[in-house]
Chains A and B, each alone.
Chain A
Amino acid sequence: MAGGYAWLLAAPAAFLALFFAWPLVRVVWRGFTDPVLGLGNYARVFGDGPYLRVMLNTIETAATVTALCLLVAYPVAYVMAKTRGRWLQIMAALVLIPLWTSVVIRSYAWMVVFQRRGVLNDLLLATGLVDAPVSFLPGALGVHVGMVHIMLPFMVLPLLSSMRAIDGTLLRAAEVLGASPTKVFWRVFLPLSLPGLNAGVALVFMTSLGFFVTPALLGGPQHMMAAVLIEQQANTYLNWGMASALSSTLLVVTLAIYVVYLRVSGGAADAALVR
């Protein structure tokens, strides 16, 4: 970056330091000092309580949702990137409109779809695919569908911007040099869309780790996410030391996963381009 303009960052940096970094430091500190100085809270987090299991649940759910989002969003973004004019506007609107509805309302809407006398069961019964209503709720299906629905725009948009930036002449050059359409996609288009893909994956995965409402409403008790545990400790039991320890653990786990992901995906991107 041009050094002369670094001062422009001073205000945002001060804002972040004051309202983000400092509270974060206090949260981490509290995990070690409340109610008494020591590792008591962390002994509980890593002990044989429910905490580690919930952390793993959380990571697993976030990873599944991210993978599903990618599967759905990539073709959508691909088609959008190839489209111009009115149709692009319509598609963009369809992707964006769900963002204007609250997460709580959308989660309740999925309950209506999935419940025993819901739309989906009515359809299955009417078509004779099942004889008795299927119990979808509470269950993993509801959690995953509900979360993918909410996170989808956050995957589509970075993918789209990345794909639209791809220079079409590169694709034509590959074709001219005799590459099949499949080969053009795998060797040229996909690697060039990786920045958007990485951004989308990071965005969806990180956000999914902190999900609260959707798994609480659509999932069973066995689908408990870390955010629910943290909320319980902070609000119900007023045990802020424990809430801090759990938050800090989630933060460290998230950062660790992110670093590993950057290494792996960065390596993969380089390899794909060099091959």
Chain B
Amino acid sequence: MRRHGMTTRTTRRGVLKGAAAASAVLAFPAVLRAAPSQMVIATGGGKLEETYQKVIYAPWTAKTGIKIVGAPNTSAKLKAMVEQKAYEWDLCQVAAEFAAQAAQQGLLEPLDYGMIDKSKLLGGTAHPHFVMSDVAAYHIAWNTKNVKAGAEPKSWAEFWKAAGRRGLWKRPFQTMEVALMADGVAKDKLYPLDVERAFKSLDKIKSSTLFWNTGAQSAQILIDGEVEVSATWNGRVHDPKRAGAPVDYHFNQALFVSDAWAIPKGAPNKKEAMEFIALAMSAQSQADFAKHIPYGPTNTAALSLLDAVTKEALPSSEANFAKGSFLDVTYWADNGDRVGELFNKWTL
């Protein structure tokens, strides 16, 4: 509650006024404050968190003695935390387009790129308030039993014309972009989105499209043959394909999306959080992560630590990265609510 926050501030001011002798100490809290014994990091959980535990949390704890506690990265919670100055997280990993939105509302701490090395990062991944940590792809996938080899859609235009039913995400981000590519917009000329043109393109397939809600659902409808072709994220079909499920995919005209590390504005252990992000963004950490989950590194130096087979599955390996384009998170931070409203209206 805001009132509670104000009380805290007043108290702190009172302390500063009353204890003049202590003011010298309080001026350098970062120097004198003991390092925390644990930090809370909010992520998407599941396999992602398990992997971080293995490849980043464990080395971090070994190095600093600071334990890591996981938490779900519920987006509304970030806002509530910062508004009420009651911090439960020291840092978080969220979808980059959400980070951009949160940064715009002043909910994130500026990152210290003196501590986090951005010299090797992919262009556009280091933002003042968040840094993108991986590259996933929203791409074309198909059921190999129902779509004959060679007949799979090579582009979004072909995806739009594919026989049978197709699947797309029930959200405007990414779906609007592929609708424009289907209508012939070049992958590097997507922004600012021509919203009307995207809806006209979507109109053509509305009746033969199943709009799915979650990534798990997109993989399930593909594998079960509920749809012939679907857009999905590479992390959702990579493992099933390897396990022999009737699903395949490619990166042509893929739209690259990211998760990002960020620190809630005013969070107490800022210095340690920056150090953690610096470690997480290192080539070694990112390479180790990519060996477990097929989300490619944003640190290009990580690629040289990976073998050819692993790189084949990663959206940000040289060969795959050239086939697609990045989602413009700033566009969505500026226009998400407005375009989202139009999208909801279009779906009804």
A residues within 8 Å of B by Cβ? 44, 49-50, 53-54, 57, 111, 115-117, 135, 137-138, 216-217, 220-222, 224, 229, 232-240, 242
Contact = CB atoms under 8 A, between A and B. Distances in A.
A235 B347 contact: no
A117 B79 contact: no
A116 B211 contact: no
Contacts of A216: 213
30 contacts: A49-B344, A50-B341, A53-B345, A53-B348, A54-B344, A57-B348, A111-B220, A115-B224, A115-B226, A117-B225, A117-B226, A135-B165, A137-B226, A138-B211, A217-B217, A220-B211, A221-B211, A222-B348, A224-B347, A233-B337, A234-B76, A235-B76, A236-B171, A236-B340, A237-B336, A237-B337, A238-B76, A238-B101, A238-B105, A239-B337
Contacts of B337: 233, 237, 239, 242
Contacts of A116: 224-226
Contacts of A221: 170, 211, 347-348
Contacts, number: 73
B74 interface: yes
Given A116-B225, A117-B225, A221-B211, A236 B348 contact: no
B302 interface: no
B210 interface: yes
Contacts of A117: 224-226
Contact of A138 (B76, B102, B210, B345): B210
Nearest to B347: A221
B210 A237 contact: no
Contact of B101 (A49, A234, A237): A237
Contact of B213 (A49, A217, A229): A217
Interface of B: 74-76, 79, 98, 101-102, 105, 107, 165, 170-171, 210-211, 213, 217, 220-221, 224-226, 336-337, 340-341, 344-345, 347-348
A111 B213 CA distance: 13
A20 B347 CA distance: 34
Contact of B347 (A222, A238, A239): A222
Contacts of A236: 75, 98, 101, 171, 336, 340
A238 B341 contact: no
Given A53-B348, A138-B210, 10 more contacts: A49-B341, A49-B344, A116-B225, A116-B226, A117-B226, A135-B165, A220-B211, A238-B76, A238-B102, A240-B79
Which of B79, B98, B107, B226 counts the most chain A CB atoms within 10 A?
Answer: B226
A192 to B, nearest CB: 43
Shortest 3 CB-CB contacts between residues of A and residues of B: A221-B347, A50-B345, A50-B344
B225 A238 contact: no
Contacts of B213: 216-217
Nearest to B216: A108
B75 A235 contact: yes
A238 B348 contact: no
A102 B336 CA distance: 32
Contacts of B217: 217
Contacts of B98: 236
Given A115-B226, A236-B75, A224 B340 contact: no
B101 A224 contact: no
Nearest to B171: A236
A72 B76 CA distance: 39
Which of A44, A235, A237 counts the most chain B CB atoms within 10 A?
Answer: A237
A115 B143 CA distance: 15
Contacts of B107: 238
Nearest to B170: A221
Nearest to A26: B1
Contacts of A233: 337
B265 to A, nearest CB: 13
Contacts of A237: 101, 336-337, 340
Contacts of B224: 115-117
B110 to A, nearest CB: 19
Contacts of A57: 348
A239 B102 CA distance: 11
Nearest to B79: A238
Contacts of B102: 238
Which of B74, B79, B107, B337 counts the most chain A CB atoms within 10 A?
Answer: B337
A49 B225 CA distance: 35
A224 B79 contact: no
Given A115-B224, A115-B226, A237-B101, A224 B344 contact: yes
Contacts of B336: 236-237
B61 to A, nearest CB: 31
Nearest to B101: A238
Nearest to A53: B348
